[in-house]
Amino acid sequence: MRVYQCEDSLEGVCTAIYRAYEDHAEHRDTWIRVDKELMLFGEYIPVETDLERAEKVMRTLRRRFGQEDYESLGLALTTPVPEKAQAVYQTVAYGLRAALPPGHLLDHQTDQYVLQTFQLAKKAGREYGQLREFLRFRELDRGILYAENAPKCNVLPYVMVHFADRFPQEDFAVRDIGRGLMGVHPAGGEWYLTDSEQLLRALRQVGYSAREMAYEELFRYFCHKIAIKERRNIGLQNQMMPKRFQKYTIEFAKKT
Amino acid sequence: MEMSWAFMEKENRLRRENGLERENRLGRENGLERENRLERENGLERENRPERENGLERESGLIKNSRLAKEQLCVVNTTGSSLDGMASGTNSPAITDRAEKIFSTADVSAQNMDILPARAAQGGNTMGLMEKLGILTDSAKYDVACTSSGVERKGNGRDLGNCVKEGICHSFSSDGRCISLLKILMTNECVYDCKYCVNRKSNDVPRATFTPDEVCKLTIEFYRRNYIEGLFLSSGIFESPTRTMELIYRTLYLLRNRYRFNGYVHVKAIPGAPPELIQMTGFLADRMSVNLELPTAEGLRELAPNKHRRNILTPMRQIQNGIKVNQHDLTVYRHAPKFVAGGQSTQMIIGATGESDYQILNVAESLYQRFDLKRVFYSAFVKVNEDKALPALPGGPPLKREHRLYQADWLLRFYGFQAQELLDEKRPFFNVLLDPKEDWAVRHLEQFPVEVNRASYELLLRVPGIGVRSAQRIVAARRSARLRFEDLKRIGVVLKRALYFITCGGRMMYPTRLEEDYIVRNLTSEKDRVQFGSDGMSYRQMSLFDDGQYNIKPDPGDVCRVVTGQM
Ligand code: SF4
């Protein structure tokens, strides 16, 4: 049994998949892992991420399975689940072997790995959706918009794509607190990810803009006023908007 | 990484020191943009400046010709920069030309241009933005539609905003309803006297009117912070339908052309306003709606003396035709401006007048069929006025009834049902215990059980526990293999509900009786169901739709409303 051990990223796993094909591995007897835990009786092969090879694999996946399923594979890999790499690898192997047409990779849920990949992608997709909904920006001095959150899945890149399209002429930054990562988008420019402490410190030194508190107050008031008291239903409110997101929104959070 | 931060810093310094240079570099240079930026930087204190300063005064009585009228219309309420700059900012030639044409012919021009009388202008003087927002949100909250769905529009790299087909909910208010749009009235200084409405003329309530500029600023600033998906602008009748519609049009014009907002906008078309104005507004909005208000003309006569059924249906028809023509135009010229791309909707108040569910559903059906509406919304009547023409409603708003209507509405739109199949003259109200689809099934037991390996798609759709997606999957999967109950479960069928109505390979899942009472008892057994109530509604109640993960994907806006019973 062979185990490819790679970096915990889309590129890392794609490089490992490249290696497995290069080595003509017997897929059902091969593992790709992103964690360091050792398995008994395994032959361990560390894989260095190689962007060129990863890119080749990514292109193939996109071409063979279509953009949507390709994105699902990527989303599945953002989950904090150690088995995700294996699930995605086996799903890809299954799909390539069966020559599934674009858009149908995840239909075949009789296969346990396909099912697992589907479920992981769904989970990450939901969290990405929630961030699109519940992320809140606060305006710092000089018009910089800053948001932070602590998602379970590593969906920050997806979030950045969404907001870069939406706010092309804004300076904004989104921080994933748990991972210590930050997506930065300079107005009119390309966004990037960084873990720079220095940048974070610099941002922290910039205070809130003069009108920020006023707009937060306006929105809080709006949320209060829009509710119909005859229909009051706090249970439903909490169900639709999980507590762990509430705490990052200005309409639920305690005033700061 | 440090480099990029430095870049950002520099950007900001540049912007601070010299807005002009930066705008130049970005190729966005014109007076409007710069001014817009300045205004934003100046913050809130500007927003309370009196209208007079904002250039509104300039318009009253000064307009001599249609060209000027057009410019005034486009740039009303700016903060005193030169007209030249503004004119260059209106870079949507199609719209501008249309405006020019219409305003040179229609009688809505010249003499009617001073939209805001002194009263409102003074209001701008004395009343804070916070107070206005409070009053005009309070007045808008009974409007149920809050979806931001139906339009997919990528960002253009320049303007603020994009649109996502499924819509996005950004928050949930304490009644569990989704907050997707900044839902406000332009004004509640209404000259009509609808008996059910808190803003009616005869009520003594605080009144306020937004300036177009205030609405734009709130929209932009809320949007930048990801509070909202866009704007939902409704209005009381300010002096006349025409004036009200003008005010709405101006606001949208400013929002799109001066504030360069590219997000979602839903506005009301005001019955009785000139068709030209409605048409122009439609080119700036993603969705338009005309409220039917009450299901029947008699109801309307009784409770809304200033409104007439025909007046309401006229703009509805106009928008329908506008959308049709536009769809044709778009196939010929790909870049033709879009007209109400997200479609048209309406809403009716449920329980203020005596109509039956059957009547209401028939009205909805004909609206879908004859007016191509995207959605009909139902709004459980909330009694805000004491008036002997209004029902007492001791149990509060009829939420359960509203919920059933939404479910039935869904059956009309996606499941191939017709209104008269679900209800009839003899049974004009929905069953409280069963959802409309279960109710239909137990009354048509002669059609069951159906064999899932053979039944037509249309018949599968009628089985409780089988939704659109699972029906599609059954049809696809049975081509290659004979389906068993395990497969159905994986496909997403809710067997608990479906098992009374189906066979798989000729066998039922458990021995059951095909008897109305027996099935009803089982379908409504307590432990499987969450009770309706004022609290704790849940997804489980979407019994029609909860056939697992594969159900038809309603847009998130719809989902929350399914849950709140006002999908
Ligand atoms: S027109 Fe009727 S429903 Fe609308 S605000 Fe005026 S009184 Fe209320």
Spatial separation of the C-alpha atoms in residues B528 and A132, rounded to whole Å: 33
A232 in B contact zone (CB under 8 Å): yes
- Contact status, residue A100 vs residue A109, Cβ threshold 8 Å: no
The verdict on the CB of residue B194 being under 6 Å from ligand 1 is yes
Q: Are both A191 and A177 inside the same structural domain?
A: yes
ipTM: 0.92
Q: What is the mean pLDDT of residues A1-11?
A: 91
Q: What is the mean pLDDT of residues A119-134?
A: 93
Interchain CB distance below 8 Å, A233 and B534 = yes
Q: Are both A200 and A256 inside the same structural domain?
A: no
Give the minimum alpha-carbon distance from B282 to chain A in angstroms, rounded to a whole number. 23
Query: Which of chain A's residues have a Cβ under 8 Å away from the Cβ of B41?
Result: 143
Q: Are both A39 and A118 inside the same structural domain?
A: yes
A206 in B contact zone (CB under 8 Å): no
- Mutating which of A141, A170, A230 best tests the B interface, going by the most B Cβ atoms within 10 A? A230
Query: Which of chain B's residues have a Cβ under 8 Å away from the Cβ of A251?
Result: 171, 227
CATH 3.20.20.70 residue ranges for chain B: 5-31+115-422
Interchain CB distance below 8 Å, B138 and A170 = no
Query: Which of chain A's residues have a Cβ under 8 Å away from the Cβ of B170?
Result: 133-134
A75 Cα to the center of ligand 1, angstroms: 48
Written as tens digits, the pLDDT of chain B (567 aa) is 333 444 344 444 433 343 333 333 333 333 334 344 444 444 333 333 333 333 323 333 222 233 333 333 333 333 322 222 223 333 333 434 444 333 333 333 323 323 333 334 333 445 789 999 999 999 998 887 778 888 999 999 999 999 998 899 998 888 888 899 999 999 999 999 999 999 999 999 999 999 999 999 999 999 999 999 999 999 999 999 999 999 999 999 999 999 999 999 999 999 999 999 999 999 999 999 999 999 999 999 999 999 999 999 999 999 999 999 999 999 998 888 999 999 999 999 999 999 999 999 999 999 999 999 999 999 999 998 888 899 988 888 898 899 899 999 999 998 989 999 999 999 899 988 888 999 999 889 999 999 999 999 999 999 999 988 889 888 888 887 788 888 888 788 888 889 899 999 888 888 888 888 888 888 877 544 433 332 222 322 333 333 332 233 333 333 333 332 222
CA torsion B495-B498-B503-B508 (nearest 10°) is 70
Spatial separation of the C-alpha atoms in residues B60 and B116, rounded to whole Å: 9
Interchain CB distance below 8 Å, A237 and B396 = no
B24 in A contact zone (CB under 8 Å): no
- Mutating which of A115, A201, A219 best tests the B interface, going by the most B Cβ atoms within 10 A? A219
The chain A residue lying nearest B1, using CA atoms, is A194
Q: Are both A7 and A119 inside the same structural domain?
A: yes
SS (HEC) of B135-187: HHHHCCCCCCCCCCCCCCECCCCCCECCECCCCCCCEECCCCCEECEEEEECE
Spatial separation of the C-alpha atoms in residues B153 and B230, rounded to whole Å: 13
User: How many domains, in total, are found in chain A?
Assistant: 3
Supply the residue whose CA is at minimum distance from atom 2 of ligand 1: B194
The verdict on the CB of residue B236 being under 6 Å from ligand 1 is yes
Query: Which of chain B's residues have a Cβ under 8 Å away from the Cβ of A225?
Result: 133-134, 137-138, 141
DSSP designation for B255: I
The verdict on the CB of residue B197 being under 6 Å from ligand 1 is yes
Q: Are both A144 and A192 inside the same structural domain?
A: yes
Supply the residue whose CA is at minimum distance from atom 5 of ligand 1: B236
B371 Cα to the center of ligand 1, angstroms: 23
How high is the pLDDT of residue B126? Answer: 54
The chain B residue lying nearest A138, using CA atoms, is B225
Give the minimum alpha-carbon distance from A22 to chain B in angstroms, rounded to a whole number. 34
Task: Tell me the torsion sign for CA atoms B354, B355, B356, B360.
Answer: negative
Residue B188 CA, closest ligand 1 atom number: 5
Q: Which domain holds residue A235?
A: 211-256
Domain final position from A127, A147, A176: A127
The shortest CB-CB distance from A231 to any of B9, B43, B399 is to B399
How high is the pLDDT of residue B546? Answer: 35
Supply the residue whose CA is at minimum distance from atom 7 of ligand 1: B200
Interchain CB distance below 8 Å, A233 and B174 = yes
Domain final position from A127, A150, A185: A127
Q: How many angstroms separate the most distant Cα atoms in chain A?
A: 67
A201 in B contact zone (CB under 8 Å): no
A129 in B contact zone (CB under 8 Å): yes
Neighbouring C-beta atoms of residue A8, cutoff 10 Å: 16
Look over chain A and give the mean of its residue pLDDT values, rounded to a whole number: 91
- Domain B5-31+115-422 CATH class label: alpha beta
Interchain CB distance below 8 Å, B138 and A249 = no
Q: Are both A18 and A76 inside the same structural domain?
A: yes
Q: Are both A121 and A229 inside the same structural domain?
A: no
Q: Which helix (H) or strand (E) holds B379?
A: strand B375-380
Angle at A143 between CA A138 and CA A146, to 5 degrees: 35
Q: Are both A78 and A105 inside the same structural domain?
A: yes
- Contact status, residue A85 vs residue A43, Cβ threshold 8 Å: no
The chain A residue lying nearest B5, using CA atoms, is A199
Residue B190 CA, closest ligand 1 atom number: 6
- Contact status, residue B124 vs residue B117, Cβ threshold 8 Å: no
Tokens of A1: 């049994």
Q: Are both A203 and A216 inside the same structural domain?
A: no
Supply the residue whose CA is at minimum distance from atom 4 of ligand 1: B236
Q: Are both A10 and A122 inside the same structural domain?
A: yes
Straight-line distance from the first to the last Cα atom of chain A, in angstroms, rounded to the nearest whole number? 55
Tell me the best of B184, B187, B192 to mutate to test the pocket of ligand 1, counting ligand atoms within 8 Å of each CB and taking the most.
B192
The structure's pTM equals 0.77
B409 Cα to the center of ligand 1, angstroms: 26
Spatial separation of the C-alpha atoms in residues B237 and A37, rounded to whole Å: 69
Q: Are both A9 and A117 inside the same structural domain?
A: yes
B271 in A contact zone (CB under 8 Å): no
Q: Are both A116 and A77 inside the same structural domain?
A: yes
Radius of gyration for the alpha carbons in chain A, expressed in angstroms and rounded = 21
Tell me the best of B188, B200, B247 to mutate to test the pocket of ligand 1, counting ligand atoms within 8 Å of each CB and taking the most.
B200
How high is the pLDDT of residue A254? Answer: 56
The shortest CB-CB distance from B7 to any of A137, A145, A186 is to A186
Spatial separation of the C-alpha atoms in residues B161 and A14, rounded to whole Å: 33
Interchain CB distance below 8 Å, B225 and A187 = no
Neighbouring C-beta atoms of residue B535, cutoff 10 Å: 12
Residue B200 CA, closest ligand 1 atom number: 7
The shortest CB-CB distance from A228 to any of B130, B182, B382 is to B382
| Residue with more model confidence, B531 or A174 | A174
Tell me the best of B199, B240, B312, B379 to mutate to test the pocket of ligand 1, counting ligand atoms within 8 Å of each CB and taking the most.
B199
Interchain CB distance below 8 Å, A233 and B224 = no
Interchain CB distance below 8 Å, B535 and A239 = no
Spatial separation of the C-alpha atoms in residues A89 and A17, rounded to whole Å: 7
A98 in B contact zone (CB under 8 Å): no
How high is the pLDDT of residue A17? Answer: 96
* Pairs of CB atoms within 8 A across A/B: 201
Among A104-108, A191-195, B557-561, name the one with the lowest average pLDDT: B557-561
Query: Which of chain A's residues have a Cβ under 8 Å away from the Cβ of B134?
Result: 221, 225
Angle at B489 between CA B488 and CA B491, to 5 degrees: 65
How high is the pLDDT of residue B339? Answer: 96
Helices and strands, number each (H, E), in chain B: 24, 10
The verdict on the CB of residue B272 being under 6 Å from ligand 1 is no
